[in-house]
A and B are shown apart, each in its own frame.
Chain A
């Protein structure tokens, strides 16, 4: 996708002023947090599993080269092919050449953040291959030519009305006066439309939540079943995954699986967890004839042995953004690249460059909620701090940001920008205090909140209220 991270500030401003987005974001705040808390609370071993999952991934990363080799051997033994890609460009080339050899016209796709990362859809289209997203959320945003705004709920920024509008615009063969007021009707329409595409596709491309070294298996986790139809119906199945998806054994996967759905959606288990090993066997009546795995680096080896190594434990559950007051206020698009929220603020500067995404780690209140809920115990706020320090050292931050006093002077000379910045802060603070109206801790105000609760802003700044009153009178 196109990178707009350098315009983070403008993006955030636009997001705050977008009524549809603000309406849609309410669902994030109200839904994900309670569900996760309930599911985690119902499993007494949850915290111990988090420790074990962290240890499993640390062990894997320390032996990543050897587990990759073991994994690769097993895939080959099962009749599959493994392709390594150091860069996005190589990954795209490999996928295109497999598609071309298969004579592919249409390709169905399960949800894959790696495919977003390497900009696969645009590339395939440029080469005359039509990609069809099959996850409902991904399908909706593909119709709208938008990137995903969340790593597990790609269309979370949209309202039902916007989805209806997109379906009417795209599905022009259906009766224009059909009733689409209920979400079930929208789902039924998408299901029927995509059924045709599933059965017609030549190649299916999925991501992977895990690659299992013990057996050479790729694992996908979905609720819809779209990933399964994507990989069992076409003649060729391509898996695209990054190096850190390697997990030693099926037991290790099961340990982490117990955290994934609970942290993501508050389910004990997602509906479909599918383990795929190689192409169809001689006696199999269904399944793909060819099975390929493309393993992508794209900058991740640069995180090994660095301050950011621990971020490679991430299982992309989305909990950090679901609990992030900044994400609640501005949504995912404002971050300007594939990974939004706290994990995006850590990954994006590494993957697309600190010159482009170096300002994302500034969008943090250091409230620590992301780290508190991250199932893999990734110290996200610390890592954001590391990026800030690096940015400072590289003198990439505007000179005024280097000293607090310069910061205020900068805003004092730019009243409109000041208004925007305080509005953002107010919104963030007001969201954080949902239902409480009080904080017990505030970043950078420890001296105050240590002894008393800080009152939650009512949601509007003094300047806003002042001008509203002036207009009213």
Chain B
């Protein structure tokens, strides 16, 4: 390790020591530790807004309204095999290149693109792909938010580099609130563990840095299209 590392260790002790002195607290105090462990294990949910606490169909409707409010577009199809047709229609309608980059997600792997004339390639993006297609593991009705997780199935670069991002989500995966999604993440990855990246995406990229004028398409996708399945 580099020389700075020695300083790092001592800075850690200095900071923790200062905190304990300021709080007149003891780092080994069993009672304090128990309180902290209880919160980390118990993960209390806090106050959950009523807004998203709806039966599934209404939840999907709220999700759609909220996503459209932040300039995403939303389409709905009955079954997974309709995805290629829905994607092709969207690309045609907006005059976008018939070229698609997809990860290895099993949900999207067996789709038949042959009839669509879309050139499909697989893997992460290096910035050269006009359109990315991903599968969101969850949605949040409360704010029209998509939840995407990193990995070979859905490379994180697809969420940010292509100018157009199309995201497939199953209607049944749309939750009312963030806290419900965290419960699912804990179940999938184990308590205390996370995939490298969890992206919550609410609408396409934007900036208001020039005279507070809202402009779409800052560094991320200019367009976000959501396909709800089921």
Please measure, in the bound complex, the distance between the C-alpha atom of A267 and the C-alpha atom of B145, giving whole angstroms.
Answer: 12
Residues in A with CB closer than 8 Å to B117 are none
Query: Which residues in window 24-39 of B have CB below 8 A to A?
Result: 24-25, 27, 32-33, 35-36, 39
B70, chain A: closest CB distance, angstroms: 7
- B145 adjacent to A269 (CB under 8 Å): yes
- B150 adjacent to A214 (CB under 8 Å): no
Query: Which residues in window 163-195 of A have CB below 8 A to B?
Result: 163, 183-184, 186-187, 191, 194-195
Number of interface residues of B (CB under 8 A): 84
The reply on A290 being an interface residue by CB < 8 A is no
B136, chain A: closest CB distance, angstroms: 14
The reply on A367 being an interface residue by CB < 8 A is no
The reply on A320 being an interface residue by CB < 8 A is no
| CB-CB under 8 A for A155 and B209, given A271-B204, A281-B196, A283-B152 | yes
- A183 adjacent to B195 (CB under 8 Å): no
- B157 adjacent to A226 (CB under 8 Å): no
Please measure, in the bound complex, the distance between the C-alpha atom of A102 and the C-alpha atom of B144, giving whole angstroms.
Answer: 39
What residue in chain B is nearest A253 (Cβ atoms)?
Answer: B178
B175, chain A: closest CB distance, angstroms: 12
The reply on B12 being an interface residue by CB < 8 A is yes
Most chain B beta carbons < 10 A, residue from A62, A252, A273: A273
A255, chain B: closest CB distance, angstroms: 4
Residues in A with CB closer than 8 Å to B203 are 271
Query: Which residues in window 166-194 of B have CB below 8 A to A?
Result: 177-179, 182, 185, 192-194
Please measure, in the bound complex, the distance between the C-alpha atom of A101 and the C-alpha atom of B36, giving whole angstroms.
Answer: 36
- A276 adjacent to B209 (CB under 8 Å): no
Residues in A with CB closer than 8 Å to B27 are 65-66, 69
The reply on B50 being an interface residue by CB < 8 A is yes
| CB-CB under 8 A for A43 and B49, given A183-B215, A277-B195 | yes
- A64 adjacent to B196 (CB under 8 Å): no
- A94 adjacent to B209 (CB under 8 Å): no
The reply on A279 being an interface residue by CB < 8 A is yes
What residue in chain B is nearest A51 (Cβ atoms)?
Answer: B47
The reply on B131 being an interface residue by CB < 8 A is no
Which of B50, B123, B202, B208 contacts A265, CB < 8 Å? B208
Report the stretch among A134-142, A402-410, A427-435, A453-461 that lies at the interface.
A134-142
Query: Which residues in window 55-81 of B have CB below 8 A to A?
Result: 66, 70
- A228 adjacent to B199 (CB under 8 Å): yes
Please measure, in the bound complex, the distance between the C-alpha atom of A272 and the C-alpha atom of B192, giving whole angstroms.
Answer: 22
Query: Which residues in window 126-177 of B have CB below 8 A to A?
Result: 126-127, 142-145, 150-152, 155-157, 159-161, 177
- B197 adjacent to A66 (CB under 8 Å): no
- B212 adjacent to A31 (CB under 8 Å): yes
Q: What's the dominant secondary structure at chain B's contact region?
A: loop
Residues in B with CB closer than 8 Å to A254 are 46, 177-179, 182
| CB-CB under 8 A for A232 and B197, given A84-B11, A183-B210, A271-B205 | yes
- A134 adjacent to B219 (CB under 8 Å): yes
Number of interface residues of A (CB under 8 A): 105
Please measure, in the bound complex, the distance between the C-alpha atom of A85 and the C-alpha atom of B152, giving whole angstroms.
Answer: 35
The reply on A257 being an interface residue by CB < 8 A is yes
Query: Which residues in window 266-300 of A have CB below 8 A to B?
Result: 267-281, 283-287, 295, 297
The reply on A384 being an interface residue by CB < 8 A is no
B35, chain A: closest CB distance, angstroms: 7
The reply on A209 being an interface residue by CB < 8 A is no
- A24 adjacent to B209 (CB under 8 Å): no
Which of A43, A243, A279 contacts B15, CB < 8 Å? A243
Residues in A with CB closer than 8 Å to B19 are 64-65, 68, 243, 301, 304
A358, chain B: closest CB distance, angstroms: 22
What residue in chain A is nearest B163 (Cβ atoms)?
Answer: A191
The reply on B16 being an interface residue by CB < 8 A is yes
A100, chain B: closest CB distance, angstroms: 9
| CB-CB under 8 A for A286 and B157, given A159-B211, A187-B215, A274-B199 | yes
Residues in A with CB closer than 8 Å to B159 are 228
- B218 adjacent to A226 (CB under 8 Å): yes
| CB-CB under 8 A for A251 and B179, given A48-B47, A191-B217 | yes
- B45 adjacent to A251 (CB under 8 Å): yes
| CB-CB under 8 A for A276 and B200, given A159-B211, A226-B218, A265-B208 | no
* A-B residue pairs in contact (CB < 8 Å), sample of 11: A43-B51, A68-B16, A84-B8, A159-B211, A199-B126, A217-B194, A229-B219, A269-B202, A285-B103, A302-B18, A304-B22
Interface residues of B (CB under 8 A from A): 2, 4, 7-8, 11-12, 14-16, 18-20, 22-25, 27, 32-33, 35-36, 39-40, 43-47, 49-51, 66, 70, 103, 123-124, 126-127, 142-145, 150-152, 155-157, 159-161, 177-179, 182, 185, 192-213, 215, 217-221
Q: Beyond A66-B33, A232-B160, list 19 extra A-B contacts (CB 8 Å).
A: A65-B19, A65-B20, A65-B27, A86-B14, A90-B11, A134-B219, A135-B209, A154-B209, A156-B212, A183-B211, A191-B219, A224-B220, A250-B182, A268-B66, A274-B199, A284-B155, A285-B155, A297-B14, A306-B22
